[in-house]
């Protein structure tokens, strides 16, 4: 993608976060949307929560701050606006085709939910049952 293409893509991502339950999961290598598997935020140190609207400048700053994690193999840029609170979450995620693997990763990083692309909904993280 050219710099102009990336600029337009980032503007579109900011627009996606302006509506309740809006969001994105984007491959940072080529700007493409992900559409299959389960997304799990695996870098809690890079999670950012905004109380209000997120601008394209906010996204540029976040990408610059999370650059090292976003360049790791298999990482994606994620964003979501919680319809209940209006908070916007930005994170670095991985996407896996395996639900059990996604749940294990989410438990390891103390996530509350993962995102299922086929159902287009969040799945609460299951707590392991003690033996």
- The Cα 57–Cα 73 span in angstroms is 25
pLDDT at 70 over 60: yes
Please compute the mean of the pLDDT values over residues 17-43 and round it to a whole number. Answer: 90
Residue 124 is predicted with a pLDDT of: 87
CA distances from 35 to 2, 111, 116, 126 (A): 23, 21, 9, 23
pLDDT at 131 over 50: no
pLDDT grade, residue 54 (50/70/90)?
A: very high
12 dihedral zone (left: phi>0; alpha: psi -120 to 50; beta): alpha
Q: What is the pTM of this model?
A: 0.84
């Amino acid at each position: 993608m050219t710099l102009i293409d990336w600029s337009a893509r980032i503007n579109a991502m900011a627009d996606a976060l302006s509506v309740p339950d809006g969001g994105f999961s984007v491959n940072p290598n080529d700007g493409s949307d992900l559409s299959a598997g389960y997304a799990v935020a695996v870098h809690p140190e890079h999670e950012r929560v905004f109380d209000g609207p997120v601008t394209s400048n906010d996204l540029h700053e976040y990408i610059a701050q999370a650059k090292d994690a976003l360049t790791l193999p298999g990482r994606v840029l994620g964003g979501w606006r919680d319809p209940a609170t209006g908070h916007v979450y930005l994170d670095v995620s991985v996407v896996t085709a395996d639900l059990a693997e996604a749940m294990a990763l989410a438990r390891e990083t103390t996530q509350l939910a993962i995102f299922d692309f086929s159902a287009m909904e969040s799945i609460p993280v299951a707590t392991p049952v003690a033996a």
